[in-house]
Amino acid sequence: MKFTSYWHDTAPRFGAAQTAPVSGRFDVVVIGGGFTGLNAARKLAKEGVSVALLEAAHVGAGGSGRNGGHLNNGVAHGYASAKAHLGAERAHALYRAYDRSIDMIEALVAEEGIDCNFRRCGKLKLASKASHADGLKANIELIAREVDPETGWIPREGLEAEVGGGGFHGGALYRKTAMMHMGRYVHGLAEAAARHGAKIWEDAPVTAREKTGSGWKVTTPKGSIEADRVIAATGAYGGSVKGAPFGYFRRRIISVGSFIIATRPLNEAEIAATVPGNRTYVTSLNIGNYFRLTPDNRLIFGGRARFSAVSDQKSDAKSGEILRASLARTFPHLADVGIDYCWGGLVGMTQDRYPRAGEADGMIYGMGYSGHGAQMSTLIGQSLADLAMGRTDTNPLQGLDWKPIPLHVGEPWFLPLVGMWFGLKDRLS
């Protein structure tokens, strides 16, 4: 078993990174080489803006290369909850923004010729308990009436053609959802950004940021550069870094570990007994699971196995054992299946689980996707590029307040308590 991301292990390495020291003067510097930062850099370079991108490790090293491979449309919360929290107009706009971002990914993949197995597959949110079915059905019916008629409800007796295991009580179907190979997409996005003129440095973590007379000086162990504008696209990884460059986000982002396993390739009979619908799937429990097939027919099975802010081989291995047990409960016929990959990563959560994008602390920023970044980050990257060029009408999160989390300074000491609370809710629901 490899303790590495399947997406990293089965994608090419980016070959156009700068080899010279970090130096120069640019219009914009982007911090973070994931989907958000790379598409911001790509958009700026296409517009003729001089842009540098600084990545602490390698492109896609963070959440963009460590997720479950879903491009799920719709808001992360129940739509009714989003309406209550944000108001009908903003909830509707946010739902549409997720749809637009998936459309944008599809168009970008075609435009740049990125070979990443993009496919519209649909998502099923599965009722893990009989008591969950009525609420899921009511939510999807509200969505169909108000914002997305291409959704629907599949009753328990209709699930046989969609998912195996026999333990689910119905499912909400979101037909616009897609999937792709995340590693190949992030590689293609980086190649496209460089091809259009962006200068990308890897292994260049930002250690300092200071105001200059005409902009900002950004320092790394490899040198420093100056730029008029700074875009922060660090997500959970910036939120977990101590020090001045990202202090604003450290107080607002909760970095939570998310963990995933991938099986050996399944045969046709195993696929038919597991995910005959070949969609993306997510369960309705607070501490639930998500799963899908890879292009080479492995089952990727993930979840918040442990409420931890650490992702290393020891932590990932512990979480992998929990996920293996969950896999066996969900699909008993796969109880002894070989596990080829086990990995984890950090998810940048906001207190209310809505993403944020805007300007603060001298930076343009987009992050806090709260587990739904793969689908939203491409659109937000383009919106951040627009903000850097003075365009303010393309940010779907404009004006959404973002207060610091009380008693939170970057070390999420409260995560075990949160895990206990969600576990209790799952037992009682």
Domain annotation covers residue 427: no
Burial of 389 (0-12, 13-18, 19+ CB in 10 A): middle
pLDDT for 412: 64
Query: What is the number of structural domains in the chain?
Result: 1
395 pLDDT more than 90: yes
CA distance to 5, 235, 305, per residue, from 60 (Å): 11, 12, 23
Paired tokens of 132: 């969950």
Q: Is residue 428 part of a domain?
A: no
Of the given ranges (189-193, 199-203, 256-260), which has the lowest mean pLDDT? 256-260
Confidence of residue 26 (pLDDT cuts 50, 70, 90): very high
In which band, very low, low, confident or very high, does the pLDDT at 411 lie, cut at 50, 70 and 90? low
Q: Is the pLDDT of residue 164 over 80?
A: yes
Q: Which of 373, 323, 311 is nearest to 70 (CA)?
A: 373
Chain CA centroid to CA 114, Å: 19
DSSP 203-261: S----EEEEETTEEEEEETTEEEEEEEEEE--HHHHHT--SGGGHHHHTT-EEEEEEEE
**pLDDT category of residue 236 using cuts at 50, 70 and 90:** confident
Nearest 5°: phi and psi at 258? -130, 140
| CATH number of the domain within which 79 lies | 3.50.50.60
Establish if 379 belongs to a structural domain. yes
Domain-located, residue 364: yes
User: What is the Cα 44 distance to its own chain's centre?
Assistant: 22
Q: What angle do CA 126, 170, 320 make, to 5 degrees?
A: 25
Q: How confident is the model at residue 408 (pLDDT cuts 50, 70, 90)?
A: confident
What range defines the domain where residue 160 resides? 6-420
The Cα–Cα gap between 163 and 223 comes to: 52
Q: Mind listing the pLDDT tens digit for each residue in 242-287? A: 555 788 898 898 888 889 999 999 999 999 999 999 999 999 987 7
Q: What's the pLDDT tens digit per position in 330-371?
A: 999 999 999 999 998 888 889 898 999 999 999 999 999 988
Average pLDDT over residues 172-196: 98
pLDDT one-digit tens code per residue, 151-160: 999 999 999 9
pLDDT at 308 over 70: no
Decide if 371 is inside a domain.
yes
Average pLDDT, the chain: 91
- Whether residue 264 is contained in a domain is answered as yes
What is the model's pLDDT at position 74? 84
Could you tell me the pLDDT band of residue 419, with boundaries at 50, 70 and 90? low
Instruction: Read off the pLDDT band of 118 (50, 70, 90).
Output: very high
415 in a structural domain: yes
For residue 128, tell me if it sits in a domain.
yes
Percentage of the chain lying above the pLDDT 90 cut: 77
